[in-house]
Amino acid sequence: MKEEPKPKLLLVDDDEEIRTQMKWALGSDYDLSMAGDRAEAVQAFGRERPGVVLLDLGLPPKANEPDEGLATLDEIITLDALAKVIIISGQGEKQNAIRAVGAGAYDFLVKPIEMEELKLVLRRAVHVVYLEHEHRRLREETQVAGFEGMVGASSEMQGVFAYIRKVAGTTAPVLLLGESGTGKELAALAIHQRSSRKDGPFIAINCNGIPESLLESELFGHEKGAFTGAHVQRKGLIESASGGTLFLDEVGELPPPIQVKLLRFLQEQTVQRVGGRQEIQIDTRVIAATNADLKQGISAGKFREDLYFRLAVVVIRLPALRDRGDDVAVLAREFLQRYAAQNNKRNMAFSPDAKRALYRHNWSGNVRELQNRVKRAVIMADGKRLTAEDLELTDLSDTQPATLREARDTVEKEVVQSALRRHQGKITSAAAELGISRPTLYELMERLRIPKADRGQEETD
C-alpha cells in the first residue's frame, strides 16, 4: 500500500535551539521546512506551499517586538488566504494576540509550548486545510457538472444533485420544496438545462407577485377584446414556454380558479386563452416550487389535492443553509471570490471572527441572505480582511468566546461534529478522518460536551 505523504509544515523561528527541538518533536509526522527570518519564511512558503505555518512573532532585526512577525504573517496570508498560521511567541501580551488573530492568524500559543497541545492544534489545522481544499475540489466538480451555479459539498446537496440527474431526462412534473432563499429557481433551471428541452425557453413566474386579476391572463393569455385594455391577442406564459419549461414559484399562492385551469392543463396539455374558445395544444413541462406546507393548505381548503398530486410526481427538498454543515464556508468563499473579482479587489479573505460568525448565524434567509451579506461586505470593506462587522453579524458578539482557548474549543467542536455527521456517528471512521485514535476522539467528545445525540450510534467493535 502506498504511504500517504506527510502534511507540509513551515516553522519560522530565529532560535536555532527551538528549531532543533521542533524538528525532533514534529519531524516524524510532518514534512518540515524551517526559516529564521521574514525573507527566508516568505521564500520557503512560496517554494513549499505548506498548509500550516508555525510563526514566531519576534523575528530579526527586532526580535523583541512583534512587528516583523506580523509583517511575515501578512505576506503569507497574501500569498495564500487558506494558509493556517499559528503564532508562537514569548510575547504573551493580549494585545499581540489580538493583533495577530485580527490580521488573519489561525491560532496563538505562548511559550513555553505544551507539546501535546501544539500537536492537537496542528492536527486540527491540517484537517481544516484538508476540508477547505476538498470543498474547493468538490465545488469545481459541481460547477463542471453544469448545475447552473449550484454549489454544495454536503451530503444533503449531493442528494439534491442526484435527484436532479435522475429527473432531468424525464417529462414528469417536479415540485421543489424549501425555505425562501434555498435555491429553488436554480434547481429548476438545472433540471431544465440537463433535459432534452434545454434549447427551449425557461420561463419563471412568481405566483405571489402578480395581482389575481391579472394572473389568469398572464398564465393562459387572452384574446383581443377579452376585457378592458385587451387591445391585442396575447400568448400566456404557459404557451410561451412550449417546447421548454415553466417554473411556477410560490405555487401555493395560486387562487382557486387558477388552480382549476392549471390542473386541466396538466391533465390535457391544452389551454384556452381568456375570452377564447379554441383549445390550444401545448408541450410545456411544469416545475413548481413553494416554501409553504401544501398539505396543510389542502386540509384548510386553500389548495386542491388533485392539483397537488399532479404537481408532486417527483418531490425534491432543498435543505436550509443551517442544515448544510460546512457548505456555509464553501458558499461564502465562492461569493467572496466572485464579488472580489467583480469589484477588482484582489486577495480578499475572511477574518477569524467573520468565520466564526458565519458558522453561528442562523441564516433564516438561507443562501440568498449569505450572498447578499458577502456582496455588500466586499463593496463596503476598506481592507483585504472581511470582518464580522463588515458582514453585519456583530450582533453575535455576545455569544462569541471570550478567550483564545474558548475560540479553539468552538472550532474544534465544529470540526468533530462535522466529521461525526459525515460518518453517521461511526467513531472509528470519524477518528481516522480526523487523524486521531478512537480513545482520543472519545476524550475530545467528553471535553467538548458533544451530546450523545450528536455522536450517532456508537460502534462496539
Q: How far apart are the first and last CA of the chain?
A: 24
**Annotated domain spans of the chain:** 8-139, 155-318, 322-399, 404-455
CATH hierarchy code of domain 404-455: 1.10.10
Strand partners, 288: 175, 248
C-alpha cell at 226: 377579452
pLDDT mean across residues, the chain? 84
65: left (phi over 0), alpha (psi -120 to 50) or beta: beta
Question: What does the pLDDT look like over 333-343, one tens digit per residue?
Answer: 889 988 998 99
CATH topology identical between 8-139 and 155-318:
yes
Strand 84-89 vs strand 52-56: parallel, antiparallel, or unpaired?
parallel
**pLDDT over threshold 50, residue 315:** yes
Sequence-distant (6+) residues with CB within 8 A of 9 are 26, 30, 31, 32, 33, 50, 52, 53, 54, 122
Note the pTM of the prediction, 2 decimals. Answer: 0.58
The mean pLDDT of 160-187, rounded to a whole number, is 93
Residues 215, 226: Cα–Cα separation, whole Å: 14
Pick the more confident residue, 224 or 28.
Answer: 28
Please tell me the predicted confidence (pLDDT) of residue 273.
Answer: 85
The one-letter code for the residue type at 372 is: N
pLDDT band at 91 (very low <50, low <70, confident <90, very high): low
Share of residues in the chain with pLDDT > 70 (%): 88
Q: What is the pLDDT of residues 320-359, one digit of tens each?
A: 999 888 889 888 988 998 899 899 887 788 888 888 889 8
The CATH H-level (homologous superfamily) assignment of domain 155-318 is: P-loop containing nucleotide triphosphate hydrolases (3.40.50.300)
Cα–Cα distances in angstroms (integers) from residue 153 to residues 19, 125, 158, 260, in the given order: 38, 20, 7, 40
Q: Furthest-apart CA pair in the chain: how many Å?
A: 93
Please give the class, per CATH, of domain 322-399: mainly alpha
Alpha-carbon distance 278 to 269, whole Å? 13
Instruction: Answer for the pair 138, 387: CB distance below 8 angstroms, yes or no.
Output: no
DSSP letter at 234? B
What pLDDT does 460 receive? 40
Say whether 419 sits in a helix, a strand or coil.
helix
Looking at domain 8-139, what is its CATH homologous superfamily? Response regulator (3.40.50.2300)
Residues 35/48, Cβ–Cβ less than 8 Å: no
Collapsing DSSP to helix, strand or coil, 128 comes out as helix
CA distance 149 to 183: 10
Residue 35 has pLDDT above 80, yes or no: yes
Segment among 27-36, 158-167, 303-312, 340-349 with least mean pLDDT = 340-349
- pLDDT for residue 430: 80
